[in-house]
Structure formats: structure tokens, C-alpha cells
Amino acid sequence: MFLKFIKDFALKKIIKKSLSGYKPVADSEIINSVGILIDESYFSDRESLISDLVANGINEENIKTLSFKERVKKKEVIEYCHYTRRDISASGVFTKEDVAEFINKPFDMLISYYDIEKAPLLLATIKSKAKFKVGFASVDKRLNNFMISSQVEKHAEFISELIKYLKILNKI
């Protein structure tokens, strides 16, 4: 518990320093590839989130997800890309290879699907090479290009609002 506090303190310091000079860059390209960053402690229905995006015209092959989990049980087998605090060094570097690959992939859009600020999630959003970042309005305004005021539990509402505004912006 104490080590978690120390690591979070170090990560928050790194995030604060990164946010001081951070400006998300807007891009006018059409969205083909989508990365989704999910906090699994509040939302675990990633399949329905993906199916909502597919129903709105985004190819399922172009959607990748990264989930943050507080804890992974010893006998739990996880088939998708995920990370925990243990997968982040004290200097803010992702040590897990598939997580680092997700962060460094230049997605056309990153959906930061969390509404409570946690240091590991904020760090992943900041370090992401995505061209257009979307998130919730309750999270730090400096992180995302576009914010939607909604609740995590209402994923259908979030996706419908997102698609509506992406059409207005001529991104899909």
C-alpha cells in the first residue's frame, strides 16, 4: 500500500511536468484506426464498446484496446492487452512490451474511456502517439482534443455523441 502511494506520487510528478508543456495536436485526417484506453475498475464491458464502434462504421480490425487493472489475480488469464501499476517503472516508462507498443502506435483516434483521474491512465494518455484524443469532460482538460460530458456506465450514449460530433468535424 505504501509503495503504491510512493509510485503514484512519482507518476503524478511526471504527469504534472509533462502537462506543463503538453498541447494535443489537432489533425484533420479521416479516422481509420482507433485505440481505446479503459479503466477496468469502473467499466469492464469492452466488447460492447467495440461493437458500438463497429456498428457506427469503424472496422473491428482497426480497433485496439488497452485496459488498466488495479490487480490481476494469480490464476486469472487475460487474453487482451492490459497493464497494472507494476508494469510502469518509477520513472514513468512502460515495461510491458505490448503496452509500450500500444502507446507508441500512431492511432488516428485514442478514446480515453475513464472519468476518474488515476496516474497510470493519465500517463498512458499523455504518452500516446495518437493524432486525435477523445475523453470525458471530468478528466483534465489539457489531455484531450475533444471531451464529452457523460458517464462511463452509459457507453452507448458516449459513442453516439462521439460519432455525431466526428461527422460534424468530417472525421468519419
What CATH number corresponds to the domain at position 31? 3.40.50
Sheet holding 63-68, edge to edge: 82-83, 63-68, 34-39, 109-113, 133-136, 146-148
The pLDDT of 143-166, averaged and rounded, is: 89
Higher-pLDDT residue of 168, 172: 168
CA nearest neighbour of 112 among 146, 80, 62: 146
The predicted pLDDT at position 26 comes to: 63
Domain that includes residue 133, residue range: 2-168
Prediction pTM value: 0.87
Q: Report the alpha-carbon distance of residue 144 to residue 101 in Å, rounded.
A: 20
More confident residue, 105 or 18: 105
pLDDT for 113-154, tens place per residue? 998 888 899 999 999 999 899 999 988 888 888 899 988 888
Number of structural domains (the chain) is: 1
